[in-house]
Amino acid sequence: MDSVRNKRAGPKQRPLKSSVIHKIKILGVELASATVTEALDYSEKGGLILAPSGPGLCDLATDFHYREALQGSDLNLTDSGLAILMMKLLGMGTLPRASGLGFLDHLLHYDRFINTSPRTFWIMPNQQSMKRNLHWIQSQGLPVLLQDCYIAPLYPKVGAVEDEKLLQIIMERQPSHIFLCTGSGSQEKLGYWLKMNLPYRPMICCIGAAIGFLSGDQVRIPPWADRLCLGWLFRCLSDPRRFIPRYLKATKLIWLVLRYRHSSPAIVEA
């Protein structure tokens, strides 16, 4: 195990001089003006870490509970390349890219994370994904066992997302890091609900499909493609019928940002 961990360890990360992260609002939600390394340092305090996608940000106009989750999180990463571009073009602010995939990949190679051997807990979307993801996590030298995973039920797409069974398991196990891998929309709402109901402050990270990009459960996205905000293209090429409609939906974000900019859009039922 130690030999595997040594292979995984990258260059040591320099601590931040300040733990304060500047944030810029878009559609009433604060996105963190932070690099992945800065976000990692900030996440050591615990709290809810989200990585809202472009299609997800469009739901701010139709889903009150999703908006509540993003506004109640501790850190919203700049996962959406379209949001970054729109904000820059409209003079709303310039943000560095810090995707959910980049955050997870760096976290699993982060010296302070590796050396502390944290107690982690993973909420997986289904049995097949759990097997693939768990095998990959273990191959990276992390001491994660089957009992450290939970297969999520089918959460509703609309409305609040709660899971009392999951809450009870987490309260009994007291993990320091909770990873939600159930997909955009429901995971943010579930993460916020856990944050508001847990009696302690773990790091709750909603990473969606990011673990699948690394484990091979979904199409692999090279680091260069993630940096260039081209992950959507790889997903569309891998499964056009599923992902092209999803990313076409993200074009609605252009209209929303042009109209509302920093302000929250009015909620309209989808």
Q: pLDDT for 91-120, tens place per residue?
A: 999 999 999 999 999 998 887 777 777 899
Reference 49, options 20, 79, 27, 6; nearest CA is 79
Burial of 75-88, coded b for 16+ CB within 10 Å and e otherwise, reads bbbbbbbbbbebbe
Contact (Cβ atoms closer than 8 angstroms) between residue 213 and residue 221 = yes
Say yes or no to pLDDT of 11 above 60: no
Reference 125, options 210, 249, 54; nearest CA is 210
The dihedral built from the CA positions of residue 75, 24, 111 and 150, taken in this order, carries a sign that is: positive
pLDDT band for position 37 (50/70/90)? Answer: very high
The dihedral built from the CA positions of residue 223, 137, 113 and 23, taken in this order, carries a sign that is: positive
Domain that holds residue 138: 24-260
Residue 95 is assigned to a structural domain of this protein: yes
- Residues 136-173: tens digit of each pLDDT: 999 988 889 999 999 999 999 889 999 999 999 999 99
pTM: 0.88
| Alpha-helix residue ranges (DSSP H) falling in 119-262 | 127-139, 164-173, 186-197, 210-215, 223-227, 231-238, 240-249, 252-260
Residue 1 is assigned to a structural domain of this protein: no
Contact (Cβ atoms closer than 8 angstroms) between residue 240 and residue 7 = no
Reference 50, options 64, 34, 63; nearest CA is 34
Residue 18 is assigned to a structural domain of this protein: no
pLDDT band for position 8 (50/70/90)? Answer: very low
Total structural domains within the chain: 1
Residue 88 is assigned to a structural domain of this protein: yes
Say yes or no to pLDDT of 225 above 50: yes
pLDDT at 46: 94
Residue 11 is assigned to a structural domain of this protein: no
Residue 19 is assigned to a structural domain of this protein: no
Distances (CA, A) of 49 to 95, 131, 164, 174, 196: 17, 24, 21, 18, 14
137 is written with which tokens? 């996590």
Residue 132 is assigned to a structural domain of this protein: yes
Residue 215 is assigned to a structural domain of this protein: yes
Strand pairing category for 23-26 and 29-32 = antiparallel
